[in-house]
């Protein structure tokens, strides 16, 4: 399977797994070549959901964006990835990331330590198990001595917001997945960090996948209202606040997401305007887009229209493979 240049990231409707599976099936029928399933502390489990989707589809790529690492042992995720790889050969990508202290420590009650050090250990074990079939590893966070019965060279992606995470992804991952990063920030900070990590490891620069919110409306007030309800709480998370500050948005004295930030982050307008904005993003050094539809009025109709835009814009590129 060749990498797509654009796909869909599923957020809305995740409370109903049956509806989400129907969304994935319809997306494949409409020509969409990639869907990403998000995973939060209160949403249905993404690997389980994608296993069901794998059995009901034959072409569309399936990715997690992302599986939080702290609550799920890397051996457990490796066994889940093996199932996905068998059900959907050459269609699976596994995105992982450390999540946030407010979730890991306060909600789950797990000690977090150093997130990037933890992610390095986790990814090292996951890679060895999936790609080599065995792992002999002793670190600060994990000790694993295990040989698997199967291998599956599933591409591994990291979530990334700040330069350190992008640099680690450049060193160890097959790609980096961003969320709510302004285009200038990705160009000026994320891409150079990916390049530094890849240069240190001596391999090609991994793919950059940017998750982008989309609101299908020509009414700016409607866009700001519905997008703010989805985006504003991220401004109160320290990792995102630091990234926004580096991108030039000082949020310390402001409540929620300012309109100028939302306008930079969200793709909106009529279908032609949305197509043009997405085409611009694809041509700006981003390898792949994952579109998060935020419904303005009619989710089912907007989902259909966006899927059609994705199918029209998507252009095959490199084949799936690892670093």
Q: What is the band of 254 on the pLDDT scale with cuts at 50, 70, 90?
A: low
Average pLDDT, the chain: 91
**Domain 6-215+280-313 is classified in which CATH homologous superfamily?**
Luciferase-like domain (3.20.20.30)
pLDDT surpassing 90 at residue 108: no
pLDDT tens string 258-275: 899 999 999 999 999 999
Give the dihedral of Cα atoms 3, 230, 184, 93; nearest 10 deg: -20
Q: What pLDDT score does 320 carry?
A: 44
Q: What pLDDT score does 207 carry?
A: 97
Q: What is the band of 16 on the pLDDT scale with cuts at 50, 70, 90?
A: confident
Cα–Cα distance measured from residue 276 to residue 55, given in angstroms and rounded to the nearest whole number = 35
Cα–Cα distance measured from residue 89 to residue 242, given in angstroms and rounded to the nearest whole number = 38
pLDDT tens string 174-221: 999 999 999 999 999 999 999 999 999 999 999 999 999 999 999 999
Mean pLDDT, range 264-292, rounded to an integer:
93
Mean pLDDT, range 294-299, rounded to an integer:
93
Encoded tokens for 45: 């489990």
| Residue burial 189-207, b: 16+ Cβ < 10 Å; e: rest | bbbebbebbbeeeeeebbb
pLDDT surpassing 60 at residue 253: no
The answer to whether the CB of 69 falls within 8 A of the CB of 36 is no
The answer to whether the CB of 257 falls within 8 A of the CB of 235 is yes
Mean pLDDT, range 134-142, rounded to an integer:
97
pLDDT tens string 110-125: 888 899 999 999 999 9
């Amino acid at each position: 399977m060749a990498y797509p240049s654009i796909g869909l990231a599923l957020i809305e409707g995740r409370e109903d797994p049956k509806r989400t599976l129907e969304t994935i099936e319809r997306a494949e029928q409409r020509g969409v070549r990639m869907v990403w399933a998000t995973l939060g502390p209160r949403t249905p489990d993404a690997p389980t959901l994608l296993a069901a989707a794998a059995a009901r589809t034959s072409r569309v790529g399936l990715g997690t964006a992302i599986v939080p690492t702290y609550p799920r042992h890397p051996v457990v995720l490796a066994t889940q990835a093996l199932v996905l790889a068998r059900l959907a050969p050459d269609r699976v990508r596994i995105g992982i990331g450390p999540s946030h202290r407010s979730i890991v420590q306060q909600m789950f009650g797990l000690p977090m330590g150093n997130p990037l050090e933890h992610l390095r250990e986790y990814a090292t074990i996951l890679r060895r198990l999936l790609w080599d079939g065995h792992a002999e590893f002793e670190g600060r966070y994990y000790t694993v001595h295990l040989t698997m019965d199967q291998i599956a060279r599933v591409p591994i992606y990291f979530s990334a917001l700040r330069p350190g995470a992008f640099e680690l992804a450049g060193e160890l991952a097959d790609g980096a997945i961003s969320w709510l990063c302004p285009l200038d920030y990705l160009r000026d900070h994320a891409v150079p960090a990916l390049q530094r990590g890849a240069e240190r490891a001596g391999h090609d620069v991994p793919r950059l996948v940017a998750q982008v919110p989309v609101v299908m409306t020509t009414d700016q007030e409607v866009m700001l209202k519905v997008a703010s309800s989805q985006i504003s709480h991220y401004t109160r998370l320290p990792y995102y606040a630091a990234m926004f500050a580096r991108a030039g948005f000082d949020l310390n004295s402001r409540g929620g997401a300012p309109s100028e930030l939302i306008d930079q982050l969200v793709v909106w307008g009529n279908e032609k305007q949305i197509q043009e904005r997405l085409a611009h993003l694809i041509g700006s050094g981003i390898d792949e887009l994952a579109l998060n539809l935020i419904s303005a009025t009619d989710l089912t109709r907007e989902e259909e229209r966006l899927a059609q835009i994705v199918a029209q814009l998507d252009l095959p590129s490199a084949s799936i493979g690892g670093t």
